Structure formats: structure tokens, C-alpha cells
């Protein structure tokens, strides 16, 4: 019997978040930020934490250094009841870090990958995979060790009877190279945002990109910010509007929170429209407080906020 509902494989880092920044950085000059927050970062960890807050049992696979940032990450995951038995440590590499500079609804990030790009597919054992019912991977472009053999990893998971999902996230090199024809047949749910989808498929419009991958894609979920989210399923495209928040603290982790909402319903076998709606409300709740996990105390709290702020019943 599986130990976890979902096993999350991915990058682990802390975020140093700067707000109220007076202008934009320039070489040779200094500007100031009036707010700073050190918090759990990384798409994978935010997804895992918020999924766990919804009452889903979650295990995490990742690689950290042996440093104070690693301690912060492990404590944050444990506080959210994410199992870290499969989180490994390295004396050779430092824990990853992202500096996030917030500007209203957008942001600029600078990431030091450190240990996160040193996790390899061979580190992920069948024992780990067999501990779960569903496997999720985030930020494939930041994980060079995983990216080289991602097809083999997902193929192995499917052969073991595990459902799968992936959020590719941004490619810092902006090469956007993924072997979709080999990868997508082994992915139950592919979860890019609109910009990522267009870049990875090398097309200017969603319809063109979906036409390119229709022969080998299963479910494709495309996050579209204030326009909500879209689901492609065997040639049919369904869209659900966003739940809008007029007082946005920041948007860090909103896409990961959407993923958590969607997957929490998907693994229960919920109707796909319901998966989209829960994803959208989780993304909206994320924006109520700064950082990617602050808004998600526990299931009871999330249900209360969903009703009070957005009129939605979880």
C-alpha cells in the first residue's frame, strides 16, 4: 500500500523576497527595498506544502546542502506535514536560493541553483516511486540532472502503475527544449502556464500548440493568470474563469497553488471542471498573503477563506 497520495520530485530552495523596491537595479548604482521576507521557495516545495495543507499525504524528493538554508527548508516542510524521508543532503553543494524582486503583479528572479540541479534520476529509486499513488515534478529546466532522463523517469513511474503530472516552469536559458513527443505520452497531466506553453511548443497561439501535440498528449492544463485556466482533453478545450482578488499581496507561488488544487481533486477522480475550479480558487487564495505558502494554514482555514473571499465551496 502506498505511503503517500503524492510524491513530489523537484528543486528545493529558499526565497529572499524584496518588496517596496525603489526603482530597478542598475550596474554601479544602489537602490533600496523597504520589505524583506525569507521563506520557503521553489515550485516543488510550494506545491507540496499547499497540497499537504489540503489534507493530501505528500512526500518530497530533493537535494539540499548541509547549511542553515537547508534547515529552514526542512523545518518549513515538516511544519506543513510534508514527509522529508526522501530529501537528501550534500556536503559538496550549497542549498539553492532565489532572490525575488516584486514589482506589483510581476517580479524579477535571480536563482542560484546549487544542490537542486545535482539531483539525478538514478537517485530516485523504485522504492520511492512505489511509496505513492501519484508523482509530480516541477521546474524541469532548473534540474539538469533530472531533465536528461526525464522521459525514462516518467516511463518508469507509469510502468509501476503511478499517475503523473509535471509543471515545467520557466527556462532560465530560454531554450525551451523538451522532447514532448517522447515525454507527454507518459504524463497524465502537463501543467504549463500560457507563456511557457507557447515557448515550449514554439507557436504564438494556444490552438496551434495544441494541434502540434494532439497525437501524444493526455490532459494539458494551461494556466492563464487573470484569465483563469484552460484544459485540453482529446481535442476539446474547456476554460474556467479566475477568481479575482482586488488586494493582491503578491503572486509568488500562485501557479504552484493552482497545481495543488487541481491535483488534490484529480487524484480523487473528481470531474475535470471541478479540478480546474479548485485550482483557480487556490491560485486566488495564494495572492491574499505574501509568499507562496502563507495563505494555506490547513484545510479548515482554506475552506473558510474560499467561502468568505470567493464564494466557493471546497
CATH label of the domain that carries residue 262: 3.40.1190.20
Residue 26 falls inside a structural domain: no
pTM attached to this predicted model: 0.93
Residue 174 falls inside a structural domain: yes
Residue 277 falls inside a structural domain: yes
Q: Rounded to whole angstroms, how far apart are CA atoms 86 and 99?
A: 26
Packing angle of the helix pair 43-53, 254-266 (nearest 10 deg): 50
Closest CA relative to residue 168, chosen from 108, 59, 256, 45: 256
Domain ranges, residue 186: 4-21+33-310
Q: Would you state the cell numbers that stand for residue 263, as one nine-digit string?
A: 491535483
State the first-to-last Cα distance of the chain, in angstroms, to the nearest integer. Answer: 27
Residue 178 falls inside a structural domain: yes
Closest CA relative to residue 10, chosen from 58, 80, 54: 58
Residue 116 falls inside a structural domain: yes
Residue 28 falls inside a structural domain: no
DSSP classification of residue 165:
E
**For the chain, what is the domain count?**
1
Q: Rounded to whole angstroms, how far apart are CA atoms 114 and 86?
A: 18
Residue 27 falls inside a structural domain: no
Q: Rounded to whole angstroms, how far apart are CA atoms 302 and 74?
A: 23
Q: What is the pLDDT along the chain (314 residues), one digit of tens a residue?
A: 569 999 999 999 999 989 899 999 999 999 999 999 898 999 999 999 999 999 999 999 999 999 999 999 999 999 999 999 999 999 999 999 999 998 877 788 899 999 999 999 999 999 999 999 999 999 999 999 999 999 999 999 999 999 999 999 999 999 999 999 999 999 999 999 999 999 999 999 999 999 999 999 999 999 999 999 999 998 999 999 999 988 888 888 999 999 999 999 999 999 999 999 999 999 999 999 988 899 999 999 999 999 999 999 99
Residue 295 falls inside a structural domain: yes
Amino acid at each position: 500500500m502506498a505511503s503517500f497520495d503524492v510524491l513530489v520530485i523537484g528543486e528545493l530552495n529558499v526565497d529572499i523576497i524584496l518588496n517596496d523596491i525603489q526603482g530597478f537595479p542598475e550596474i554601479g548604482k544602489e537602490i533600496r527595498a523597504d520589505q524583506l521576507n525569507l521563506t520557503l521557495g521553489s515550485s516543488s516545495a510550494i506545491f507540496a506544502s499547499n497540497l499537504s495543507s489540503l489534507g493530501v499525504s505528500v512526500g518530497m524528493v530533493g537535494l539540499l546542502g548541509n547549511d542553515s538554508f537547508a534547515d529552514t527548508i526542512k523545518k518549513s516542510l515538516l511544519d506543513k506535514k510534508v514527509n522529508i524521508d526522501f530529501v537528501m543532503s550534500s556536503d559538496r553543494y550549497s542549498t539553492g536560493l532565489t532572490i525575488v524582486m516584486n514589482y506589483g503583479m510581476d517580479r524579477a528572479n535571480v536563482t542560484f541553483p546549487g544542490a537542486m540541479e545535482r539531483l539525478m534520476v538514478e537517485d530516485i529509486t523504485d522504492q520511492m516511486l512505489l511509496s505513492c499513488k501519484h508523482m509530480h515534478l516541477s521546474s524541469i529546466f532548473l534540474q539538469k540532472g533530472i531533465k536528461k532522463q526525464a522521459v525514462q523517469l516518467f516511463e518508469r513511474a507509469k510502468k509501476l502503475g503511478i499517475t503523473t503530472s509535471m509543471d515545467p516552469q520557466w527556462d532560465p536559458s530560454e531554450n525551451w527544449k523538451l522532447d514532448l513527443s517522447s515525454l507527454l505520452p507518459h504524463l497524465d497531466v502537463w501543467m504549463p502556464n500560457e507563456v511557457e506553453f507557447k515557448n515550449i511548443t514554439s507557436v504564438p497561439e494556444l490552438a496551434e500548440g495544441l494541434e502540434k501535440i494532439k497525437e501524444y498528449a493526455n490532459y494539458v492544463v494551461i494556466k492563464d493568470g487573470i484569465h483563469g485556466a484552460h484544459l485540453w482533453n482529446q481535442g476539446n478545450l474547456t476554460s474556467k474563469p479566475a477568481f479575482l482578488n482586488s488586494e493582491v499581496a503578491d503572486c509568488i507561488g500562485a501557479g504552484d497553488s493552482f497545481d495543488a488544487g487541481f491535483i488534490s481533486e484529480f487524484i480523487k477522480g473528481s470531474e475535470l471542471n471541478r479540478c480546474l475550479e479548485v485550482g483557480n480558487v487556490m491560485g486566488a487564495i495564494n495572492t491574499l498573503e505574501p509568499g507562496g505558502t502563507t495563505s494555506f494554514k490547513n484545510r479548515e482555514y482554506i475552506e473558510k477563506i474560499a467561502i468568505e473571499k470567493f464564494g466557493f465551496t471546497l
